[in-house]
Amino acid sequence: MATASPKRARKSPVPHRLRQLPPQLREPAYEKGGLRNALVEEGRKMFEENGAMELSLRALARRLGVSEAAPSRHFKGKEELLAAIAVSGFVELAEQRKGIAAQNLPPFAMAREMMLSYVRFAQAHSGLFDLMTGPRLLREFVRGDVEATSNISYSFFAESVFSLARESGWPEEQMHYLSHAAWSMEHGVAALILADRIPRTDSNLDLEAMIDFSINSFLVAVVGGPHRFAEICAPIMPKGREKGAARPAPARA
């Protein structure tokens, strides 16, 4: 009697990797202590209190009790200081998400906590969050350390979405669509909360329940998998936009 041929070992999917970051930015870039760090921390407080228009290097120097020329040894101007303040925010958010990643939660719970951390950060640091994600910074600064440190935070978040998606059978080509959709969800909720637009006054909704429902609804859709997604969305997708309707993954043996 012929014996059954052994099953081939299934290859693990190659995870999507965001671009490699400079070594000095893979961990928080600024150590505690020193005038530069003090300028960033105190400048962040001033920004939260008074906004970007009222933030000046001279006023910051007086507040710290140093000479008015001292900040210029670390920052060329206010824009560079604002960029450093934004970097400090992304470093803090990345540290929070690094802590979540270290908890080794199940994929659904991990992705949920990553998305919640973004909303909670926005609620706790509204002015800083607006600086980090809004149009205030000049593009020359956004493309530097701001982008690099934001990628650290994003990488922890994106990997949690990828993990849940792989568990739910999504093909690798759809991973970044899913992480961008999740990012849009968490940012939309955070921005509407900070604009005091949700919950609507005529809805009588509890804010915390609404946050949970929004994030959970998105993640439940991810768990539903690509087959159900394609079944519902493919017939209504415009021509040329088929990538938005996930093609089902090959049947697994």
For residue 68, the model assigns a pLDDT of: 86
What gap in Å lies between CA 198 and CA 13, rounded to an integer? 39
Helix 147-167 to helix 107-124 angle, to the nearest 10 degrees? 150
Q: Is the pLDDT of residue 192 over 90?
A: yes
| Over residues 107-111, mean pLDDT | 98
Q: Does the bond joining 226 to the residue before it have cis omega, within 30 degrees of 0?
A: no
Q: Over the chain, what is the mean pLDDT?
A: 82
* pLDDT band of 243, cuts 50, 70, 90: low
- Which alpha helices (DSSP H) does the chain contain, by range? 35-50, 57-64, 78-101, 107-124, 126-133, 139-141, 147-167, 175-194, 207-233
| Over residues 160-165, mean pLDDT | 97
The set of residues, in sequence order, having a beta carbon less than 8 Å from that of 150 and lying 6+ positions away, is 90, 132
> Residue 38 in contact with residue 60, Cβ under 8 Å?
no
pLDDT in tens, 3-28: 444 444 444 443 444 444 444 434 33
For residue 128, the model assigns a pLDDT of: 92
The DSSP code sequence of 89-133 is HHHHHHHHHHHHHTT---HHHHHHHHHHHHHHHHHH-HHHHHHHH
- Please report, rounded to a whole number, the percentage of residues in the chain having pLDDT higher than 70: 79
Q: Counting every residue, how long is the chain? A: 253
Regarding pTM above 0.75, the answer is yes
**Which residue in 204, 138, 215 sits closest to 181, CA to CA?**
215
Both structure tokens of 36: 């530069």
Domain ranges of the chain: 76-244
Long-range own/partner contacts, residues 79-83 (CB < 8 A, 24 or more apart): 79/137, 79/138, 79/141, 80/141, 81/39, 81/40, 81/43, 81/55, 81/57, 82/43, 82/47, 82/52, 82/55, 82/131, 82/136, 82/137, 82/141, 83/137, 83/141, 83/142, 83/144, 83/145, 83/146
Lowest mean pLDDT among 16-25, 139-148, 200-209: 16-25
Q: Is the pLDDT of residue 50 over 60?
A: yes
> Residue 160 in contact with residue 228, Cβ under 8 Å?
no
What gap in Å lies between CA 44 and CA 51, rounded to an integer? 10
CATH fold group of domain 76-244: Tetracycline Repressor; domain 2 (1.10.357)
Both structure tokens of 161: 């979405």
